[in-house]
Chain A
Amino acid sequence: GQQVMQIPQYQHVQEGEDFTTYCNSSTTLSNIQWYKQRPGGHPVFLIQLVKSGEVKKQKRLTFQFGEAKKNSSLHITATQTTDVGTYFCAGPRPSGATNKLIFGTGTLLAVQP
């Protein structure tokens, strides 16, 4: 079945350093979403990418969707303590079943002040 893997599982950075998490799917995705979950909280939608090679920015966050639509990345510039949390990518299962959203394994980001 479709698998969505993320690397790294865990990243510890000093405040001000950059951070990147990578998401890789075993199959082509029609779109990919990113969510953030603060410690003890619930996932919150960040963004959706649809087009091959698409790049979107939200302040210090840059999201990319690969040309083959099988991978994606999230890059945070100059991390802050408010960036702490787990970042998940998610994609719909293939065969057009867009209601079935499959999540990646997540990357836990720790930021040391």
Chain B
Amino acid sequence: NAGVTQTPKFQVLKTGQSMTLQCAQDMNHNSMYWYRQDPGMGLRLIYYSASEGTTDKGEVPNGYNVSRLNKREFSLRLESAAPSQTSVYFCASRRVEKLFFGSGTQLSVL
């Protein structure tokens, strides 16, 4: 039982490049989330998906798009990466009140 799996673990991009962060969960949870974590700012919600086929904006959605491909998978896309998007990205799924987090993706945009 892998829980929440994120790929890649590390990524370096140049300004203007695009990429997709992948997330999959095997716990049959309906809700999934993308957060970013920056020093001194805690975890900020980018997008979430309450169920398959639905997505909604969080606190900091600008510059990102998401796709809830199926119940298992929730991807985050950066169309044109900017240095301000340098961060650690966490995907999570939810069962009742608990969030279960993946191990994170450390992204650097140069």
Q: Which residues of A contact B (CB under 8 A)?
A: 1, 4, 6, 9, 31, 33, 35, 41-45, 48, 88, 90, 99-106
Most buried by B among A42, A88, A102: A42
The 8 Å CB contact of A88, one of B43, B48, B58, B102, is: B43
A contact residues around B102 at 8 Å (CB): 42
Distance in angstroms between the alpha carbons of A1 and B60 in the assembled complex: 12
Kindly supply a per-residue 1/0 record for chain B positions 48-62, scoring 1 wherever the CB is within 8 Å of any chain A CB and 0 otherwise.
Answer: 101000001011000
A contact residues around B33 at 8 Å (CB): 101
Distance in angstroms between the alpha carbons of A1 and B35 in the assembled complex: 18
Q: Which of B16-24, B77-85, B93-101 contacts A (4 or more CB under 8 A)?
A: B93-101
CB pair A105–B42 under 8 Å, yes or no, is yes
A contact residues around B99 at 8 Å (CB): 33, 35, 43, 45, 90, 101
Q: Interface range on chain B: under 10, 10 to 19, 20 to 34, or 35 or more?
A: 20 to 34
CB pair A100–B58 under 8 Å, yes or no, is yes
Distance in angstroms between the alpha carbons of A106 and B56 in the assembled complex: 25
If A31-B97, A43-B90, A102-B59 are given as contacts, then 19 extra A-B residue pairs at C-beta distance below 8 Å, sorted by A number, are A1-B59, A42-B101, A43-B43, A43-B99, A44-B101, A45-B98, A45-B100, A88-B42, A88-B43, A90-B99, A99-B50, A99-B94, A100-B56, A101-B99, A103-B35, A103-B42, A104-B42, A105-B42, A106-B42
By beta carbon, the residue of chain A nearest B90 is: A42
B contact residues around A90 at 8 Å (CB): 43, 99
CB pair B103–A100 under 8 Å, yes or no, is no
B contact residues around A105 at 8 Å (CB): 40-42
Most buried by A among B40, B41, B43: B43
Distance in angstroms between the alpha carbons of A4 and B42 in the assembled complex: 10
Distance in angstroms between the alpha carbons of A102 and B48 in the assembled complex: 12
By beta carbon, the residue of chain A nearest B33 is: A101
B107 at the interface (CB under 8 A from A): no
B72 at the interface (CB under 8 A from A): no
